[in-house]
Amino acid sequence: MHLDTPITLGGLTLPNRIAISPMCQYSAVDGVVQPWHSMHLGSMAISGAGLVIAEATGVLPEGRISPHCPGLWSDAQEAALTRLIAGIRAYSDTPLGIQLGHAGRKAPAEGFDSGRPAPPELGWPTVGPSDIAPQEDWPSPRPLDEEGIARIVEAFAAAARRATRAGMTLIELHGAHGYLLSAFLSPLANRRTDRFGGSLENRMRLPLMVADAVRAALPEGVTMGMRINGTDHAEGGITPDEAGTLAVALREAGLDYVCVSAGGNSRHQQIPPTVPGYQVGLAEEVRRRSGLPTMAVGMILTGRQAEDILAEGRADMVAIGRAALDDPRWPRHALQSLGARPDYPRPYWRSGPDIWRGYAAVHPEAGPG
- SS3 of 281, please? helix
246, 294 contact by CB (below 8 A): no
| Contacts of 32-37 spanning 24+ positions with Cβ under 8 A | 32/70, 32/71, 32/76, 32/77, 32/80, 33/70, 33/77, 33/80, 33/81, 33/84, 37/70, 37/84
What does each C-alpha distance from 22 to 40, 250, 264, 291, 332 come to in angstroms? 11, 20, 16, 24, 19
Cβ neighbours of 253 (radius 10 Å): 17
Cβ neighbourhood burial of 299 (10 Å; 0-12, 13-18, 19+): middle
Cβ neighbourhood burial of 68 (10 Å; 0-12, 13-18, 19+): buried
Best CA proximity match to 330, nearest among 117, 35, 52? 52
Amino acid at the residue 73: W
Those residues with Cβ within 8 angstroms of residue 165's Cβ, 6 or more apart along the chain or in another chain = 78, 82
Active site residues: 179
Amino acid at the residue 7: I
Question: Rounded to a whole number, what is the distance in angstroms from the first to the last CA of the chain?
Answer: 18
